[in-house]
Amino acid sequence: MYVPPHFAEERPDALRRLIEHNPLGALVANGPNGLDANHVPFEFDAASGERGTLRAHVARANPVWQEARDADEVLVIFRAAGAYISPNWYPSKHELHKQVPTWNYQVVHVHGRIRIRDDEKYVRGVVARLTRTHEGRTNAAGAWRMADAPADYIDAMLKLIVGIEVEITRIVGKSKLSQNKEERDRLGAAEALAQRGEQTLADAMRRP
């Protein structure tokens, strides 16, 4: 990924926050039929391994877990908010007319080595933690739990999925938030985005 220095995101806390708030990653692997991308919700364990570990599960019917070999290099892409930026939102444009459109966004590329975890205990733990995390964010008062379903039903569903683990070797983050613009232009674009309901990206641009 091309990352100009002024757009590089290297703060560990910011990278972790971007992954945790945007957990649906694109898992890119190079299998026997070439590049393959699967969109999978991940959990990020920053304390596991030298740079952290990603954990998830895929459908047993998905060939990725059979085509990938343990220790194969993979890429997982996490994309946060993004939006078109009009030159009209920059105050300087109306004075000098020297601005062009662009697209602002935040993204994290996680490089690592994959490991297939086809065991019930591992898969059950991943499902339980992902469920607890996301149910807590969406419906804390009446969060769904695995125990809400019959045990034999959960056991049968778990047999239909396979665990995967990615040992992180490198993380590359990019926050393109108009840092290369005058402050008034950056804030002007942020205000325009906020007025259009793009609050997450607007807030990020206000504190790049």
Neighbouring CB atoms inside 10 A of 75's CB total: 20
CA 195 vs. chain centroid, Å, equals: 25
- In a domain, residue 175? The reply is yes
CATH code, domain carrying 90: 2.30.110.10
For tokens 């994309």, what's the residue?
79
Q: List pLDDT tens digits, range 15-38.
A: 999 999 999 999 999 999 899 999
- In a domain, residue 208? The reply is no
Q: List pLDDT tens digits, range 149-198.
A: 999 999 999 999 999 999 999 999 999 999 999 999 999 999 999 999 99
- In a domain, residue 207? The reply is no
Split into its structural domains, the chain has a count of: 1
- In a domain, residue 37? The reply is yes
**Which residues have a Cβ under 8 Å from the Cβ of 91 and sit 6 or more positions away?**
184, 185, 188
- In a domain, residue 164? The reply is yes
pTM: 0.92
Which pLDDT score, from 0 to 100, does residue 94 have?
Answer: 84
Please provide the size of the chain in residues.
208
Exposed/middle/buried for residue 102 (C-beta within 10 Å: 0-12, 13-18, 19+) = middle
Residues of the domain holding 70: 5-202
